[in-house]
Chains A and B, each alone.
Chain A
Amino acid sequence: MEVFIVSLLNGLVYGMLLFMLASGLTLILSMMGVLNFAHASAYMLGAYFAYTISLYVGFWPALIIAPILCGFVGAAIEMWGLRRVHRNGHIAELLFTFGLALIIEKGVQMGWGLLPVPYRVPALLDFPLFSIYGTNFPAYRAFMLLISGMMFGAIWLGLTRTRIGLVIQAALTHPEMVGALGHNVPRIFTLVFAAGTALAGLAGVIGGNYQVTEPAMAFTMGPIVFVVVVFGGLGSLTGCFIASILMGLIQTFAVVFDVSLADLLAKIGFIVTAKTPLAEVLTVTLPRIGALLPFLMMVLILVFRPRGLMGTRDT
């Protein structure tokens, strides 16, 4: 039971972190059709910016400044890069963002080095908040839940209660029509791209010290974020939210339940030995394939339900 509750909390924290990354990518992909490979790079930049800023002025100002810097980087990429490349079609865009992700990774390696940087949890939050069955739950994880929950609320309010939010929702499905009604679609694209990048940056600020801030962190996080977006469905933030939490829980639970198919078969009286056919497959434990599960789910959903959980159109 204690394993279940602690894993549930950890899964929620990881899921909300995924949502911070995936929500921006969902909006960008749904509205602009841009499969932005550099999205997770903004997550990495957020962590590195926050690390450097926190060396001078501490963590709390970095929590505000780093995402804003990431937002400016996003706006610059959209206005001076993507908008030009967009005229040459989606393949060009895809290659552009892929190249950008590599450039940012190399840039980070040149600027901060190949090894992880000592980006630490702020001292103010570095204590166990409570203890369940003898396992401590760090206060910082609760803080991550709080920040990501507040962000979720802010996005929801922004999209449903403001005029610009309505314009963004409309542009998710009919960007041309939104333009023909007099709304400046290129400016909305820039705004959404910058906001999405800033959110990814914010995820980096609070996730960089929860995980490890290193040059490979973007390429570790990138694929799983794509899985969330495809699984949740294009054009649906609710789908994205559900998919994020689901992936967070799956990945967390897969690590802690050390069981294999052979263990399950043993419970119904069938003992797997070295001579049993497919014994190698049957004895593989869940933690060993845990990292594969989300990708397996993505492949299955693309085959059987291409529009994802709650998507408004096919991926």
Chain B
Amino acid sequence: MLEVQDLHAYYGKSHILQGVDISIGAGEIVSLLGRNGVGRSTTCKAIMGLVAPVGKVSFKNSSIAGLRPDQIAHAGIGYVPEDRQVFPGLTVRQNLELGLKRAGVFGRWNFEDVYKLFPNLGERQDNPAGVLSGGEQQMLTMCRALMGDPDLVIIDEPTEGLAPKLVEQVGTLLDEIASRGVSILLVEQKLTIALKISKRLYVMGHGRIVFEGSPGGLMANDAIRKEWLEV
């Protein structure tokens, strides 16, 4: 479904991504692991067109490299950024509405689904999103992306700064997303959720992929874990 080959990206003169190769199949859950600053978020942004990509990025067999973010979203990729980016002055419901690509046109997800999964969002649907707690904002950002009915959703560090109970909720939502046949590219620093839900994992280090394999394979590879993942 998503094929990324020899992807490079730059911030000014800094060469951030130095030839990243990733592939994700239909309905597959893949995790991208690594420490802060190795280029995981830049990989997401380059796929999404928010950072100019150099290299091959194709989605459902069409090249998406060089397209605008809105065109990539319409191609079927949803994006949940690391810093959440809820629209603070708009209500919870209005935030979700803006996730829809066309007014009133729903796909796999609608308001009721979201409110059933997260009753808090339902109760506070008329409140400005800016007053929600960090955990609620994270759920809102993920659900907002889902309202656009993506076939692949890129989720950047959803558990960052969340209490263990909320991390569990994120896990439940990821399971729910997967059960509706949506592919996931999960970017994480921690292994907990990634090992539990992914079939395949990538580990990134210094702008390139340093490991590709199964959760079992990663657990068996002490060298990779020690060098690229453990603090």
Chain B associates with chain A: yes
Q: Which A residues are closer than 8 A to B by beta carbons?
A: 163, 166-167, 169-170, 172-174, 176-186, 312
Q: Which of B86-141 contact A (CB under 8 A)?
A: 87-90, 94, 97-99, 101, 103
Q: A179-B68, A182-B148, A186-B68 are in contact. Are A170 and B50 (CB under 8 A)?
A: no
| Minimum Cβ distance to chain B for residue A180 (Å) | 5
Chain B contact-residue range equals 20 to 34
Q: How far is the CA of A184 from the CA of B68 in the complex (A)?
A: 8
Whole-angstrom distance between the Cβ of B40 and the nearest chain A Cβ: 17
Complex contact B98–A178 (CB within 8 A): yes
Other-chain residue from A166, A173, A178, A186 in contact with B88 (beta carbon distance below 8 A): A173
Contacts A177-B85, A181-B145, A182-B101 given: A166-B69 contact, CB under 8 Å? no
A172 nearest CB across to chain B (Å): 8
CB distance from B91 to the nearest CB of A (A): 10
- Please report the number of residue pairs spanning A and B whose Cβ atoms sit closer than 8 angstroms: 62
Chain A residues with Cβ below 8 Å from B89 are: 169, 172-173, 312
Asked whether B68 lies within 8 Å of A167 as measured between CB atoms, the reply is no
Contact status B68-A181, CB under 8 Å: no
Complex alpha-carbon distance, A174 and B88, angstroms: 10
Residues in chain A near residue B81, CB distance under 8 A: 177, 180
Judged by a CB distance under 8 angstroms, whether B59 is at the interface is no
18 A-B pairs with CB atoms under 8 Å apart are A163-B103, A166-B94, A166-B97, A167-B98, A169-B90, A172-B89, A176-B50, A179-B68, A180-B50, A180-B72, A180-B73, A181-B144, A182-B70, A182-B148, A183-B98, A185-B69, A312-B88, A312-B89
Complex CA–CA separation, A118 to B89 (angstroms)? 46
Q: Determine whether B199 belongs to the interface, using a CB cutoff of 8 Å to chain A.
A: no
| Residue ID in chain B nearest A235 by CB atoms | B89
* A-B pairs, 8 with minimum CB distance: A182-B73, A179-B69, A170-B87, A177-B85, A182-B101, A180-B79, A180-B69, A174-B85
